[in-house]
Amino acid sequence: MDLYFSKEHEWVKISGTTATVGISDHAAHELGDITFVELPAVGKTVKQFETVAAIESVKAASDIYSPLSGKVTSINETLENAPEVVNESAEEAGWICTIEIADPTEVKNLMSKAEYDEYLKSL
Amino acid sequence: MKLIYEQSVPGRRGVQLPACDVPEATPLPAALCRAEAATLPEMSELDVVRHFTRLSRRNFSVDTNFYPLGSCTMKYNSKGLEAAAGLMAPYHPMIPLLPGGEALAQGCLGMLHGLGTALAEITGMDEVTTQPLAGAHGEMTGMLLVAAYHRAKGNKKKYVIVPDSSHGTNPASAAMVGYEIITIPTAPYGDMDMEAFKAALSSETAAVMMTCPNTLGLFNPHVKEICDLAHGVDALVYYDGANLNAIMGKVRPGDVGFDVIHVNLHKTFGTPHGSGGPGSGPVGVKKALVPFLPSPRIVKKDDGSFAIDRDNPRSIGRTANFFGNFGVMAKAYAYILQQGKEGLIRVSEQAVLNANYIMSRLKAYYDLPYDQTCMHECVFSASRQLQHDVHAIDIAKYLIDQGYHPPTVYFPLIVKEAIMIEPTETESKATMDSFIEVMIEAAKLAETNPEVLKEAPVTMPISRLDETKAAREQKVCCIG
């Protein structure tokens, strides 16, 4: 399974034609206690780096940008009543949605885990 | 302190009415009556007076303490303005709407017209509507005007450009009107990244929305170029007037090239606000947008009298009942007349001087991510204190204990652990010095005894609130 990160601190795990999307541990920590996740509608079509969801914390409300283009196929309904799962496990149980990948070549615009860690050091 | 319901004693009354000596009228139909009596507190007049007087003493306001809440311009509002506005209070809002009623409301209509004219002069716009009821309402009105302009010209426009330092209401207002938002990052200098802006600008750009000075308290040196580039693709430029307190009499947005502006009367023009209102957000426009302004409009006739003009076929329509928040406008008009041209210029000069004084005295103790001369507010970061696990919120809570309203924290979003301080022009050097000493004390405590900050506030009726729980479990209910 391939794991990539965006500059806006989203992660995407690719398994075949399906991509699972979430925000990085770093982003979850920076946001502070998350109070609400606005999940997308299943079936919504998104372009790479366009807003797919939104997240609210005690500090701020932020858009979540889709790391890849595609169609939303499922959402993590747990987050509707338990947004804190994103704080507890941003890169596993706190996933946001899955997307049917429209264009696999778009991963060239993303970073590997090692590149992302390096990017975080530069911030 | 007990809730008013907890103080209730069955049968206790403020007023004892004599027994009714006329026959009871026909009772209401049972279907219209409630099943059980309403739960109302039963109290004596004195109990009620003491309860609300006690509550009022717990109120925190600019009348009681320094209130440097960045981006909110919490200046002191002179009581003389309240008295001036009170002169308008006896006039019923329906009077000018009666047949021939305009003649009976010349003072009120003249005030509205005079305020619009003054704001047009201050902002460099051609005409102003006073209808919008608050800043965000003004933004939406402004963006509806932008949309009406493009629709009338047959322009195919899709996008609105905003910098990432903008107030959240900017992209929200544009999205409400139906535009897609393009966000431009901030350059190292604190202004909008010009290369990214040029790349985003296209023939499909409807508008660029800017706050200038921006939420970092910095004036954008490229503002003229941005207006010119936008006009090159027939995009309009929107000026968010939230920070107008920094530039009055120095720069007129209309002269720079802005096409639409909203003004927050409750910030810049000396009217009390907080906790959600009341506000007033008049919108000024250049000539090309005048036909679309909300209707009705107040006009001055050749004979010098004022009239209500409802004949505006291209108007976006009415955006408020009557003529907007009249009381707020009356105070703002009184403020403008009280200050006069020279006074307003000095307001901005003093507001900017005060912010720079605080910035220069605190920058040895707090990180200043954009280190340059600021306008009416300065934005620090608590990143240095974060090394001791002290967050901006801990410093804010400590300030409450010391008798200061905290500055704005965690905004703008582009500054980590932001602390945004706006002293306004109405504070003395002595007040600011006391505040500065407390801020320095907080910075020292972060290193030597961070627990004091993390436990604050300890002098308030209640200790630190669980903000996360309050946001996650939103339960609002009535007791009783």
In this predicted model, what pLDDT tens digit does every residue of B266-307 receive, in sequence order? Answer: 999 988 887 767 899 999 999 999 999 999 999 999 999 999
Do A58 and B416 count as a contact with CB atoms less than 8 A apart?
A: no
- Residues from chain B that touch A56, judged by Cβ atoms under 8 A, are 471
In angstroms, the CA B185 to CA B46 distance is 58
Nearest to B88 by CA among B327, B376, B401: B327
The CATH number covering residue A64 comes to: 2.40.50.100
**Site of tokens 């009714």:** B20
Min CA distance, A9 vs chain B (Å)? 14
Decide if A38 is inside a domain: yes
Q: How many domains does chain A have?
A: 1
Query: Which DSSP string do the residues of B135-158 spell out, in sequence order?
Result: HHHHHHHHHHHHHHHHHHHT----
pLDDT for the residue numbered B480: 47
Min CA distance, B186 vs chain A (Å)? 14
Q: Which of B414, B472, B473 is the best substitution to test chain A (most A C-beta atoms within 10 A)?
A: B472
pLDDT for the residue numbered A54: 94
Do B471 and A58 count as a contact with CB atoms less than 8 A apart?
A: yes
Residue-wise pLDDT for A23-80, tens only, equals 999 999 988 899 999 999 999 999 999 999 999 998 888 889 999 999 999 999 999 9
Tokens at B99, concatenated: 């047949």
* CATH 2.60.200.20 fits domain B79-338: no
Do A58 and B413 count as a contact with CB atoms less than 8 A apart?
A: no
Query: Which DSSP string do the residues of B33-74 spell out, in sequence order?
Result: S-SS--------HHHHHHHHHHHHHT---TTTS---BTTS--
Cβ atoms of A71 and A43 closer than 8 Å: yes
In angstroms, the CA B363 to CA B414 distance is 19
- Residues from chain B that touch A58, judged by Cβ atoms under 8 A, are 467-468, 471
> Can the peptide bond before residue B412 be classed as cis, meaning omega within 30 degrees of 0?
yes
Helix (H) or strand (E) segment spanning residue B169 = helix B169-176
Min CA distance, B13 vs chain A (Å)? 44
Cα dihedral A75, A76, A77, A83 sign: negative
Tokens at B359, concatenated: 């910035």
Cβ atoms of B381 and B359 closer than 8 Å: no
What ipTM was assigned to the predicted interfaces of this complex?
0.75
Decide if A120 is inside a domain: no
Do A60 and B413 count as a contact with CB atoms less than 8 A apart?
A: yes
**Structural domain containing residue A59:** 2-109
Decide if A122 is inside a domain: no
pLDDT for the residue numbered B478: 61
pLDDT for the residue numbered B473: 81
Do B411 and A60 count as a contact with CB atoms less than 8 A apart?
A: yes
Closest chain A residue to the Cα of B474, Cα to Cα = A35
Question: CATH assignment of B347-471?
Answer: 3.90.1150.10
Decide if A85 is inside a domain: yes
pLDDT for the residue numbered B479: 55
A42 in contact with chain B, both atoms CB, cutoff 8 A: no
Q: Which of A31, A56, A58 is the best substitution to test chain B (most B C-beta atoms within 10 A)?
A: A58
Cβ atoms of B246 and B100 closer than 8 Å: no
Q: Which of A7, A26, A33, A34 is the best substitution to test chain B (most B C-beta atoms within 10 A)?
A: A33
- Helix axis angle for B326-362 and B106-123, nearest 10°, is 30
pLDDT for the residue numbered B228: 98
Low-confidence ranges of chain B (pLDDT < 50): 480
What is the C-alpha end-to-end distance of chain A, expressed in Å? 27
> Can the peptide bond before residue B27 be classed as cis, meaning omega within 30 degrees of 0?
no
Decide if A115 is inside a domain: no
In angstroms, the CA A52 to CA A97 distance is 9
What are the structural domain ranges in chain B? 1-13+38-56, 79-338, 347-471
pLDDT for the residue numbered B89: 87
CB pairs under 8 A between A and B: 21
Closest chain B residue to the Cα of A36, Cα to Cα = B472
B475 in contact with chain A, both atoms CB, cutoff 8 A: no
Q: What is the pTM of this model?
A: 0.88
**What are the φ and ψ backbone dihedral angles of B413, each rounded to 5 degrees?**
-65, -20
Give the count of alpha carbons within 13 A of B435, CB side only.
27
**Site of tokens 């009105």:** B141
